[in-house]
């Protein structure tokens, strides 16, 4: 985040949004409870979500007001293209909107209090953002803060949930034929030879990283 926005959307008083973000189809569920300024633009929210879930910002991403994989109803016999918000330099189609020009508050209002964020179009990590509550911001309110959550985010390039679950299964079983291979790969990805714990979430460390973005 480049700055703390002192005014809200369209000059209205700034609001703090309590937003629950869950990784769709995760089992056990991987989720975060965040407090975020509603005026943050979607490129800033992108950075917040990357930090909250431990992603490395190594792939493409997009925001949508509705589930991008849900079937769309035809309108006048044609299926409309879903609106999506992308980095400005990646907007190529009429339905693409620069994420730098739209706020989180505006996006959640379009989706009746919910929206979606997809990261890595290959592994397709789909996050559902749901507005839980809002309150007025106070002077000094941080742009984003992690309040609660469960489990660390999946590893980059692990093949979506099927691939990630396969890797976790092999790591947990020393007799698994792929245990050594996956252990080496995980150590390379994480930069650590410490045992990998998919259930561990370091909330204070995440908040330190979020504070460094301001």
The model carries a pTM of 0.90
Distance separating alpha carbons of residues 9 and 42, to the nearest angstrom = 13
**Helix, strand and coil percent figures for the chain, each rounded to 5:** 30, 25, 45
Give exposure, 9-45, as e/b (b: 16+ Cβ within 10 Å): beeeebbbbebbbbbbebeeebbbbbbbbbbbbbbbb
pLDDT digits (tens, 9 = 90+) for 44-64: 999 999 999 999 999 999 999
Instruction: Tell me the per-residue pLDDT of 130-189, one tens digit each, with 9 for 90 and over.
Output: 999 999 999 889 999 999 999 999 999 999 999 999 999 999 999 999 999 999 999 999
Q: Give residue-wise pLDDT tens across range 64-117.
A: 999 988 866 665 666 567 789 999 999 998 889 999 999 999 999 998 889 999
Dihedrals phi, psi of 153, to nearest 5 degrees = -70, 155
Check if the beta carbon of residue 126 is closer than 8 Å to that of residue 69: yes
Contact in structure between 139 and 148 (CB atoms under 8 Å): no
């Amino acid at each position: 985040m480049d700055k703390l926005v002192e005014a809200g959307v369209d000059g209205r008083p700034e609001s703090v949004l309590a937003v629950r973000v869950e990784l769709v189809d995760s089992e056990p569920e991987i989720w975060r409870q965040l407090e975020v300024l509603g005026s943050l633009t979607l490129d800033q929210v992108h950075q917040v979500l990357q930090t909250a879930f431990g992603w490395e910002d190594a792939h493409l991403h997009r925001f949508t007001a509705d589930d991008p994989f849900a079937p769309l109803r035809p309108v006048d016999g044609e299926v409309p293209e879903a609106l999506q918000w992308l980095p400005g330099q990646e907007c190529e189609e009429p339905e693409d909107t620069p994420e730098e020009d739209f706020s989180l508050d505006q996006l959640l209002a379009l989706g009746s209090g919910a929206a979606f964020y997809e990261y890595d179009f290959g592994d397709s990590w789909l996050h559902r953002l749901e507005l839980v509550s809002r309150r007025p911001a106070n002077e000094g309110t941080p742009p984003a803060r992690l309040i609660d959550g469960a489990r660390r985010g999946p590893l980059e390039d692990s093949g979506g949930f099927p691939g990630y679950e396969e890797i976790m299964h092999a790591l947990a079983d020393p007799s698994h034929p792929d245990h050594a291979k996956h252990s080496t790969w995980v150590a390379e990805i994480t930069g650590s030879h410490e045992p990998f714990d998919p259930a561990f979430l370091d909330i204070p460390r995440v908040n330190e990283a979020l504070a460094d973005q301001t």
